[in-house]
A and B are shown apart, each in its own frame.
Chain A
Amino acid sequence: MAYVAVSGGEEAIEESIRLLDFYRSGTDKDLETEAIENKLSLLVDRVMSEAGLYAKTLAVLALKQCEGSMEEAVFLLRAYRSTLTRNYYTRVVDTEGMRLTRRISAAFKDIAGGQILGATYDYTHRLIDFDIGRETPAALRRRIAETLAAQAPEDITPCPRVSAELKKEGLIDGFAQSDQAPHDVTVHTLEFPAGRSARLQTLSRADTGFISGLAYSALRGFGQAHPTVGELRCGYAELCLPYPLDETESVYIGEIMITEVECFNAADGKNQLGLAAGYGAVFGRSETKAIAMAVLDRELEAGGPYPAQDEEFVLTHGDSLEMNGFISHLKLPHYVTFQSKLDAVRKRRSAP
């Protein structure tokens, strides 16, 4: 009988989980964690970014555990994060001094410190390279090592932000320096109106697809006009902790790869046209997401009638766990509630 299939679920669940192992087993070839970490690094970056946990080794295990499912990997990392005690908070990260691997401006040709194209897929032709299927990893490594050895390393000096100059000229509306402790949305409920720190944190952890789609809607007309990418930079930012025995000293604990973006929009200043900046910063090399975040930061600051400008709409619907969890919960049994709905419909039909 149909009903039996949904109760007595214990055994069914066990078997279902075993079946997952069957799918995961796939082939005799193994997917080594070292290879995932180093060869699928953009995937790993995205998992860490949406999970809000910078932990490559764990992200790799998560991806391997769930057949490469984005939402499941993010889920695993987030759940693990809940078990960790927070021992320290780092000092505010100065991204101006980050070790750059890439830095471009769509606003100015010449910027102080220069443009560094770095690694980007932007100018590749998206043609499937059939040789990849026959590539030997050792040969590839050797070729890259030889190329590197033939080059003389060049010092990269920390660069001031492109916006710094415009701020000096008073052309851009900046946000006043704030020493207020940020509102941590992982510890406190997001409340509305939300502060900017809560907004930025939420956007930075948001599902890439969700915020990209929203930012796109803003560009297409459901929002302000086309913004300009003032600066996009990728690189390593240093993390430091206050030294417990002497708060004026810091202890360096490592660095994280981030992508940071500043977008400029035309904005009405006091009696004159001005510019306003939107900010985006995300874990890893995740440029579209960082730009989308900067676009939405600006849209939310400006406010307006469109979805991308509606704070509560944007900030409550983009969390990977929340959206996927609630959508998938529809698969759970709803016998009792549906029975109650049926009762209401029947009574309404039979009402005099």
Chain B
Amino acid sequence: MTSGGNAGGGWDALVVGSGIGGMESALKLGGMGYRVLVVEKEPSVGGKMILLSKVFPTLDCASCISTPKMAATAHHPNVTVLTDARVERVTPKGDGTFAVKVHQEPRYVDTSACTGCRQCEMACTVAVPDQFNGALVSRRAAYIAFPQAVPQKALIERAGTSPCTFNCPAGIKAHGYASLVRSGLYEEAFNLVAETTPLVGSLGRACYAPCEAACTRGQLEGPVPLRRLKRFVADTHYASAPSRPVPSLAGPPTGKRVAVVGSGPAGLTAAWLLGRKGHHVKIFEAGPEPGGALRLAIPSYRLPVEVVERDIANLKEVGAEIVTGSRVDDLAALRREGFDAVLVATGTPLAAKLGVPGEDELSGVRPALGFLREIKLGQAPDLSGQSVVVVGGGNVAIDAARSALRLGAQAVHLACLERRGEMPAYEWEVDEALAEGVELHDGWGIAGFVGDDGQGGRPGAVRAVQLMRCTSVFGPDGRFSPTYDPQERSELACQLVVVAIGMGVDVAAFPELANGGRTLQADPVTLQTALPWVFAAGDAVSGPSTIAKAVGQGRRAAHMVDRWLAGLPLDGLPSPLPEVDRSSVLARQSSHSYRAPLAPAPGAVPFPKDFAETEPVLTEDEARAAASRCLDCGVCSECHQCVKACPAGAIDLDMRPQDFELEVPAVVVSTGYNLFPAENKPQYGYGQYPNVITGVQMERLLAPTRPYNSVLRPSDGKAPERVAYVMCTGSRDQTVGNPLCSKFCCMYSLKQAQLVMGALPLAEVTVHYIDIRAVGKGYEEFFEQAKAMGTNFVRGRVASIKQVGDGNLVLRYEDVDGGGGLAEAEYDLVVLAVGVQPNPEAAGLFAPGKLALSPYAYVDEPDEDLNPAATGTPGVFVAGSASGPRDIPESVLHAGAAAAQAAAWIERSRRTREAMAL
């Protein structure tokens, strides 16, 4: 038995489906010595029968009958079973054989290591309806299908990568930490983020949260506030964690030394991850404090210094060293000092210039980075009473303008080339800046600066900014190419100008890596430079970007450096599963109730006086309520709790689907039937009234592995005293397009009636029927037995079901034997004896029209009476209820016929091919 990988070759027959029919055909063929491949879409063999309580008319335990057959199928030496797999296409080749394409989904669990202990399931933080229990109870995204599943191995349901996680440039499992917060596992949430970066608190404040922009919930009332959840877990962790961490997360020492040049988000992240791998890392920072832009550029009202410092203190946990005031411009010297590899992540420390008159000559005209840096180092100028002009339309310009207000500026003007809607700054940041009192002058270019004449060799002081109307920012090719109207001019008086029009890489420090460009040159995938032992990452390579992107680059660099140090190929950074389609997530539910998003943080205050954080941390209740709005888009959240819980180390989230092709002489289609969707009879209230259930759900309530502790009402857990069965729900019913009798609903209802009376001795069971079809060995006697036990039988169709108080249900029905009139009766629980429908997957195995169907869309048997199980396609046979409603004994019999037919065909076609070869 296998659930992954290529199934091999040399098959004599393919059996599609492993219900009772498929298993029987496979075992019969295997017993004859043929090599059989069984392809099953579910994670276990057994089909629908294994989920039944008992079988009629013997009332034998269904599991007791099924499980030996399941085990025999899985372990037969001539039978190989692929679970979680689908046959995509069967194509006749013209020589009596078939080409078969198979798609196999991964279980994300190494089945050879999994012991079936369910520790992963117990640790999983995502709850979904248990389809193997009629959705009456939950299961987890990590789960074992059901207690008798074969194989008894876990699997993880993954629909893809959740949009939040997929769109995080840092590679942080946003869905994962949201699901952990929802479960109250805050420390685990912190640790999950820390698997990627030590900068949990900084990202929780200063990230621009592309995860939230991608959040599916954003298409309803608003996205899950993922960034603020991250801040919550960081603040919660830091409130209890030691402020001076000790090395506890460093991997076993590798003896390798890595120098990281630069301590911004990329460098710190790479150092953190390399330290966790056991490498000794030393960070060289040219500035007076580590942290790069986090520490020296982002204003404290967005990112307090102490938060950055606490994040950086995490590096102590991996034993990384940090030296400040240490500028590196000789990489070879590092090599000589014994570093095995070097990562350059120096960011964009240079400020772009306008190149207009007065910029270099006048005092009071200065770059934003220097302005912000002084503030963060506690050297902020006093701007009381001054007028400040900030030049630029990006986020740094906004930071500078809002900082100037906090330093007491009387007026702060923001002049930028772009019109409001074109500004590169985030719209909400612009809104907050304006609310605080910044005056926007959009669509203006800088013509020059006017100042006083300098005296005594001192430069003159800036007095005003001359503006010139910008008519367009970008050229027809979309590139930055501003044009101006020199006739339209303006002037802003000021005492300080802060220029924030861009940042650049200090390529002069590493000419051997720049190769004449404006950024350092590194392979975009491996981040390796022209010097094999030197890697480069972050804004130094990409140019100005975002914190999250820099973190992502640091993560990639750490992976590649680690591989290079180990002498491994520079690959293997796991790529995520494809992003889940948001519309498919929303379509999983029939409706979405309104879940109030967080109240917005307090609005910006005009002319703020200090650098206190503007956004409060969430309370625990707020955080959990906010996290509970997550829609679990990818199903599995990648919270990694299963990975940590599995004692066998069997979880492998990097598994990927596989497609392969094979060739077989014979195909047995055993795809079974579909149940009638009871929602299609809305007058019966299924899906609206909790105490209207289907016969399959009642099977589960009666089964030994039932979802409840007894037969109880789903509405409130009460043991029902009056139970009604509504026969022929979806069968013998032209109104739903199915005139056929489903053949076994009568019998399973009679069975259930007896079992219910056994489980609930005081319960009354009433069957509303058209006629009872008890055609089979011992079936009539079984009917009589049900009557003898006290089952009530009411002949006539049920017209409608309505819910009344306390979840009870009133049936309005035709009472044929009671005079033919309409009557009503009240019950605690109503069971709809749903019929069956053809499974369209059977025809979908072949090209359109290549597998003939009966008028009712079951697989056609052209000569059912004398040539059973043979379809209209030579070499293709049908087993069980894929060809029409059949009960279990009939299915087994029919599957035996299919096996015999397939065996005969295999022999005939082999001889034919041999003859042709001669």
A and B associate in one complex:
no
